Structure 1
Amino acid sequence: MKKRTKHSKIWCIVFGLLGVIVLAALIFMHFGGFSTGENTNPEEFAKYAQSVENITIPENAKIIALGEATHGNVEFQQIKLDVFKQMVEIYGVRAFVLEGDYGGCEQVNRYIHGGEGTAQEAAASIGFAIYRTDEMAEIISYMRQYNEIAGEGEDLRFYGFDMQRTSFSFQFLNEACKEFGVDITNLQKLMDGEDWSDEFDYLTRMEIINQVKNELKGKKDSTKAIHFADMLLQYCELQAITDTEGSTLRDRFMAENVQWILQQEQQMGCESIFVTGHNSHVAKWGSFDSMGKLLSSETDNGYYVIGTDFYRTRCNMPTGSSTKRTNQVFYSHNPLAKTAKMAGLDICWLDFANIPGNSELAEVISQYTYMGTLGESYSWFMRLLPPSYRIFQPPAVLYDSMIFVTDANPTKIITEK
């Protein structure tokens, strides 16, 4: 009887320890640590934090970039519209430039200038699930309504700076070639082929598109048509290299595309543009030559970037290669975001230029700290490796200012019919 009692106690201890270990593991996986991170002084933070409606931009800013810590939260998409409205009404910006396919965004541009369809259909044409949302449709609706009463030359324009989709770029290049009398026989073969047709390797595809591009160069007012060809050429180059090299090349292409859009706007008399994409693309620094890093190195750009972060997010993310999506909870462990939560600020803007150099807050924005960053993929393995959904950098090195959302809610993807 005594042996059984002793054994029972041992087993109780073993199960108790296992229970503690499991509980600790669950806490770690949920919070990305054993707490929600550190914080700074809430009273000092509240003194310098402002509402998004009070955002101010330096007069020399030509490229005003807004990042998003995630693609799958309502608030970060709504902030796009909030900030863009201010850029339009206060700073005279007329271009909304999105991390989306250039051709698909041109379809949106045609819609906001009176084209057929609905705002939801226009949003779907951008080509990414993350934009098939009510929030993106609201941005598009605002731009269309604005254009309905805008004076001549005061209309809003919608651009994309990405090149990962081809259908609309093909369609509009084809239309332009017919308009300019350029032979599209070979181009049509590419368009008709499923998945660019196995009949053509990427060098052949590029040769065909370059032939069309060279013919267009001799035509008056063909700048936009040539850019459709450039987007297809960029796509071809991306398909020919590895994922690692592709990330760097894609950001270089995106930086070039933003520069091109800025030039188009300046030719129309608008000195600045509003650009929005993931934090990792717009940040001024990165372990590789990110779009923001490249753009900020050009001093005549007047590159100004607003980063974003969350304290807690329920983020809409795809599960691996599946078309199914899931809402997942993450904590950023950003002390600034946590302090915003403690200060009772649901959404706020912190201008780093206004923070006194001798303050505790200045020290926090200048030192290495964790910040949340979620893309378009989710795996349970991320729970074991919190750095997989965080970056560890000084906020003031990456951004000029930041917007914090304390509790971010998931977007709802509108299913295609």
Structure 2
Amino acid sequence: MMNLKWLKNVKLEVGNQLNEDGLIETKTDLFHIGIKEGKIMERLHHTESISEQAEVIDANGLLAIPTFKEMHNHLDKTYLSLDWKACKPVKNLNERLHFEAQELKELAPTAKQRAMSMIEMILSKGSTHIRTHVNIDPYIGLKNLEGVLEALEEFKGVITADVIAFPQHGLLRDDVPQLMRKAMRNGATMVGGLDPAGIDRSIEKSLYETMEIAAEFNADVDIHLHDGGNVGTYTIDKWMDYVEEANWQNRSAISHAFCIGEVPEAQQRALAERLRENGVSIMSTIPLTKSLPPIELLDAHGVDVHFGCDGFYDSWSPHGNGDVLEKVQKYAQISRRIDEVSLRSTLKWATGGVTALTNKGEYLWPKAEDKANFIFIEAASSAEAVARRPDRKAIMINGEIVYGTLSKLEYTV
């Protein structure tokens, strides 16, 4: 079979087993995986012979887990690749936005360089899809968007991305709505929003304009929502009114959504049901300083939840390293997930829902025709990966190593 390559001695999770104490452990085994045109063609047990003459890559018993999705990020904001500087303290959100606006013109010329540094770091941690919000504002127009798109082009075939036109300094001001439309015509793929109450001071008008732009460009939506309590939950309910009116189901997300965790549980459940019915996802960065949306409640109601790292090393925070697995680990600690199955299942919030096994130990991934996308780590199971956060030894996309190294040899029958 021409163009077939083999990934040899890959450790995969195959089921549950009980240890001597009657506790569930993850059962693993070694396999050879045949890859053609970037997809998995077949999987052989390691005791079987590889029957084709082909290129062979030896994983040497490393565990393969699914690649990650970084679902809330700001590639245009980082200081990476520039000289170190800590953040300037501020008193409130509006003061932070004002300071950010002051430095936008200074940073704009290095947008591509800085974004590339951030992409490289995110990739090294195992994320191969990035959802990035990019400032569209009256201070620099589309300059950040241009730089981010150029940076992403350098990683074409390795990184996929959602590029969100993001009105960081407010949608309902100056000519921002027209700038947003210009961004959508020039490479942005999604429409963003920000605090319709706290920033735009007009919930209905802000959400209506957001949906108008989305409908005009047939684009999905992701709204930053920091507004808390009943103001925030009213905003989510009102957005879903617009979703229903426009038939925009399964096409939007609310990022942060702290407010859902700040209202009574009965209200949380009602919101969760409506979010599920309208296919509205929740994006969380698992922050230390804010309340969290009720992730397990949302998950139990069928709401898609994804994790992201947010911006890092920028005017907002000097901290962060682009590792979505760190966010998963932090959530496992917060939610007191300590057993094998609950640790293992937490990984889904970094992978876009992909896990190797069900909670009952039924095999799910990888299968024939799946893309040959893997992270290789030294771990007994994905539960250990969540708890211990091992180094990513190598990352494979469409059958090609794009980060790190694995042993490579020629196999001849």
Q: Judge same fold: TM > 0.5, yes or no.
A: no
Higher percent of residues as strand: 2
**What TM-score does the superposition give when structure 2 sets the normalisation length?**
0.30
Structure ranking higher on relative contact order (CA contacts 8 Å, 6+ apart): 1
Higher percent of residues as helix: 1
Structure number with larger C-alpha Rg: 1
